[in-house]
Amino acid sequence: MDRVSQVCRRRHLSRRTEEAYRYWIRRYIYFHDKRHPVAIGAHGITPFINDLASKQNVAASTQSLALNALLFLYRDVFELEVGQLEGLKRIQRPARLPTVLSVGEVRDLLSYMSGTPRLMAELLYGTGLRVTEAMTLRIKDLNLQSGTIHVRNGKGAKDRTTLLPLRLRESLQSHLLRVAALHKEDLSKGTGHAPLPGALHRKYPNASRSLGWQFVFPSKTQRACPETGRLLRWHASETTVQKAFRTALERAGIHKHASVHTLRHSFATHLLADGTDIRTIQLLLGHRNLKTTMIYTHVHQAVRDTVSPLDRL
């Protein structure tokens, strides 16, 4: 498992991907009575993946994740040839449309939120950021003058620039003043460090105490760094906005199966409805393939003003 982590970090995979791969590799080993994967051989992948489909009734995306983890294990960690997986039964992925809130529903939802969780939700809806991207934003990534946000190391380890709504500039400025005051208090106590990506803490030892490297949404507590032992102030947990979102959804009487990520879908759909070019939406969302963005054209067609034949009677 240590080798799995080493290869994941060498290939700059995200911590979540690493955790998911380790989980499914562990499940795979237990499925084969705790035998070593090399002793099992790549032919052991098929019965495990088929068991997930036939007995565990997992979703298609879950089965794909488990398969990717095992292919990564054999090909990248052990450097073994997998070959053709005979008899592999893949679950058909359903062609589902994403859940989208109407403009009125977003307005009602936000009215039942307050404080920092509301600012987080407004940022997600106003920019189309993923919740992880919003939580890991640094102060230096915001440009209030030009109205832009620089997203670093997003999904697929890609950087991109997206818009910063005019409506949020004043509230964000007030929020950043509170973050700066908290950072100043940390500095007075001899702490004030933020975790830096990769090995930047060795190349720029003083950067972690600069205001620009602090998270826009910092955690309320500081935790000790496992390597250096010094206290670090990480970003706030994603559950901060997720819990507030679920509560607001219930209080607003919205009965759709929605999550915080629904705000990103709503951002794209509402832009499309207002006539924004699909290519521009692709760039703002950070999609690698235009086909991924094209799904919002189907959502828009489903919600646009179409007269039913019954109304023509």
- Which of these is catalytic: 130, 193, 233, 235? 130
Q: Which residues pair with 310 in a beta bridge?
A: none
| Cβ(173)–Cβ(28) below 8 Å | no
Q: Calculate the alpha carbon distances from 138 to 146, 152, 199, 279 in Å.
A: 16, 9, 17, 27
Q: Which residues pair with 193 in a beta bridge?
A: 232
- Which of these is catalytic: 26, 35, 155, 300? 155
Q: Which residues pair with 143 in a beta bridge?
A: 148
- Which of these is catalytic: 27, 32, 261, 300? 261
Residue 131 has which token pair?
């919740």
Half-sphere exposure of 201 (CA within 13 A, CB side): 13
- Which of these is catalytic: 175, 235, 270, 287? 287
The region, left, alpha or beta by phi > 0 then psi within -120 to 50, assigned to residue 155 is beta
155 is annotated as an active-site residue = yes
296 is annotated as an active-site residue = yes
Give the Cα separation of 127 and 268 in Å (integer).
9
- Which of these is catalytic: 118, 235, 264, 265? 264
55 is annotated as an active-site residue = no
In the chain, where do the E strands start and end? Answer: 142-143, 148-151, 160-163, 223-224, 231-232
Give kind and range of the element (H or E) at residue 183.
helix 166-188
264 is annotated as an active-site residue = yes
- Which of these is catalytic: 21, 74, 125, 296? 296
Could you give the residue numbers annotated as active site? 130, 155, 261, 264, 287, 296
